[in-house]
Amino acid sequence: MNWKPLFSKALASNPNRLHFAAHSHHLWPDAAYEGHIAAAQDALELADRKWDRIMGPLWAEAQGHIASILNLPSPQSTAFSSNTHDFLIRIMSAIPVRPVRVLTTDSEFHSFRRQMDRWAESGTAIVEAVAPDRLVERAQSGNHDLIFASHVLFNSGTVLNGIEQLAALARPEGPWVVIDGYHGFMAIDTDLSAVAGSIFYVAGGYKYAMSGEGICFLHAPPGYAPRPEITGWFAAFDDLSLPPGQVGYAPDGRRFLGSTFEPSGLYRFNAVQNMLSEAQLSISLISGHVAMLQQQFLRHDPLPDMRLLNPLDGKPHARFLAFQGSNASSMHDALNARNIITDVRGDILRIGFAAYHDESDVERLTEAIRESA
């Protein structure tokens, strides 16, 4: 399959580039560009009245897309922000005990790890980080207030097992379970219908949703964290009848909102979702295409001195391959000098595949790696 025409602007803007970092910064399809222009046009035409459109039909449309993708019982459980870190801070603020006893994996993203390290310094949190395959066992100890784990680990591409078991432990009074879905959302078919009533789920549009920065979201289970301490005036919608002096909250996912935000991400996200629908491009179809390209790449055995951390095993798989070796940085730099974009995390070289790649791109990448070795 060749879906490059959907990305014509990005590909034409740098025609000699091979972009194999879709897991890090996904190239924008033309629809994202068009959505961005639509946001600017509404700002020009509607000025302050644009918020009626943003918080009305655009907001509801984006909620509907997410509910459909994740099979959520209600679109209204979703709230939007510019990044997932905003939601972590608000969830933590709603936990009534200090220090918060946090259980997580030893493979979470830098931003989460840095925040937890700082909270541990200040006494806000006591953090226990375990290997991913030990997470469920430790969670069953009952000694934690917050359990946080990624669906797909950002560094190795390992897919977390045990979300259902973690969800079974969650209670409105604690513990709370937060799943970071950023590397799974729209990369792996994800059905949250059985656990949506008891877990928080955060993800965003920067990667496989192909929508750029500033469009992240939270699914918040009903009855959990009704009054986050870190809050902004947008969270007061639909609860404006309280007596003066009382802080009210929206009854749905909007209780996690902050204040005025940059809304162009909503336009881009909706535009991309509509593009995918019109092109009849499903998550499973793109994932199948990616898997074919990954298999083609691995048949060449292009990195024999590096260890593949996430082998293809026929199960749900990240859209990137993670190779570990002492030459990860030097290989990344050598490819970058050829305008071939991958990324490196310590001694792990990550190579990401997408709908804008075809077999000829994989052959070019393989040849460049051989010449750079």
The span from the CA of 23 to the CA of 352, in Å, is 5
pLDDT for residue 241 is more than 70: no
The tokens for 145 are 């207030």
Rounded to 5 degrees, φ, ψ at 227 are -140, 75
Residues 84-98, mean pLDDT to the nearest whole number: 98
Residue 1: pLDDT band by 50, 70, 90 thresholds?
confident
- Structural domains of the chain, ranges and CATH numbers in brackets: 4-29+281-372 (3.90.1150.10), 32-275 (3.40.640.10)
The tokens for 370 are 């051989």
Residue 226: pLDDT band by 50, 70, 90 thresholds?
very high
> What pLDDT is recorded for position 240?
55
Angle at 188 between CA 184 and CA 191, to 5 degrees: 95
Task: Give the residue, 184 or 247, on which the prediction is more confident.
Answer: 184
pLDDT tens digits for range 25-40: 999 999 999 999 999 9
Half-sphere exposure of 102 (CA within 13 A, CB side): 28
Question: Which residue type sits at 30?
Answer: D
The tokens for 149 are 């784990």
pLDDT for residue 97 is more than 70: yes
> What pLDDT is recorded for position 307?
97
The neighbour count for residue 160, using CB atoms within 10 Å, is 21
pLDDT tens digits for range 134-173: 999 999 999 999 999 999 999 999 999 999 999 999 999 9
> What pLDDT is recorded for position 199?
98
> What pLDDT is recorded for position 254?
96
Please state the separation of Cα 171 from the chain's center in Å: 24
Residues 340-366, mean pLDDT to the nearest whole number: 97
Alpha helices by DSSP H, the chain: 8-13, 30-46, 50-53, 59-70, 84-94, 110-122, 135-139, 163-169, 264-278, 283-299, 328-337, 359-372
The DSSP-derived string for 120-132 is: HHHTSEEEEEE-G
Torsional class of 295: left (φ above 0), alpha (ψ -120 to 50), beta (otherwise): alpha
> What pLDDT is recorded for position 239?
57
> What pLDDT is recorded for position 373?
83
> What pLDDT is recorded for position 236?
85
pLDDT for residue 340 is more than 90: yes
pLDDT tens digits for range 279-336: 999 999 999 999 999 999 999 999 999 999 999 999 999 999 999 999 999 999 999 9
